[in-house]
């Protein structure tokens, strides 16, 4: 199956909507198939979604077993949402980790006030495989 690039799945309107928000509902699945949904803040990296997560969380445990995720960014008035299904990579150190860390620090002032470094907080990058909007 040919994969559609994330930037095609997330057209200009969807990307603008995602960039205008910072909170999403983030879903992972446990080893025994139970869904786990939590609110997280995110930044956009082109067509990918970037999230910092803590060690010891259920979402990280789930992601280590199953990299498939879903997330929804929505608003009630006016009723509009973007849902993404995709796969994530977990970064803990290295050049890509540092690049994503800078992206998060640029986006969120409170991360800059309480910074962390490599090995202190995993960062995930979600590559969309499907995207829906309503």
Domain, as residue range, for 33: 6-133
**Rounded distance between C-alpha atoms, residue 125 and residue 54, angstroms:** 14
Does any domain span residue 107?
Answer: yes
Does any domain span residue 59?
Answer: yes
Three-state SS string across 18-32, please?
Answer: HHCCCEEEEEEECCC
Does any domain span residue 1?
Answer: no
Global confidence as pTM: 0.91
Residue whose token pair is 């999403």 = 24
How many residues are present in the chain? 134
* CATH number for 52: 2.30.110.10
| Tens of pLDDT, residue by residue, the chain (134 residues) | 446 555 557 899 999 999 999 999 999 999 999 999 999 999 999 999 999 999 999 999 999 999 999 999 999 988 999 999 999 999 999 999 999 999 999 999 989 998 999 999 999 999 999 999 99
Q: Where are the beta strands (DSSP E) in the chain?
A: 23-29, 35-41, 43-45, 48-52, 68-75, 80-91, 123-133
């Amino acid at each position: 199956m040919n994969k559609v690039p994330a930037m095609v799945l997330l057209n200009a309107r969807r990307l603008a909507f995602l960039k205008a928000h910072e909170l999403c509902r983030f879903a992972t699945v446990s080893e025994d198939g139970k869904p786990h949904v939590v609110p997280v803040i995110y930044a956009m990296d082109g067509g990918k979604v970037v999230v910092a997560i803590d060690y010891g969380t259920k979402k990280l445990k789930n992601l280590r077993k199953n990299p498939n995720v879903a997330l929804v960014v929505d608003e009630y008035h006016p009723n509009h949402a973007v849902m993404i299904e995709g796969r994530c990579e977990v970064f803990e150190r290295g050049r890509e980790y540092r690049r994503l860390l800078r992206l998060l620090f640029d986006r969120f002032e409170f991360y800059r006030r309480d910074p962390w470094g490599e090995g202190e907080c995993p960062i995930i990058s979600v590559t969309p495989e499907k995207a829906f909007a309503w």
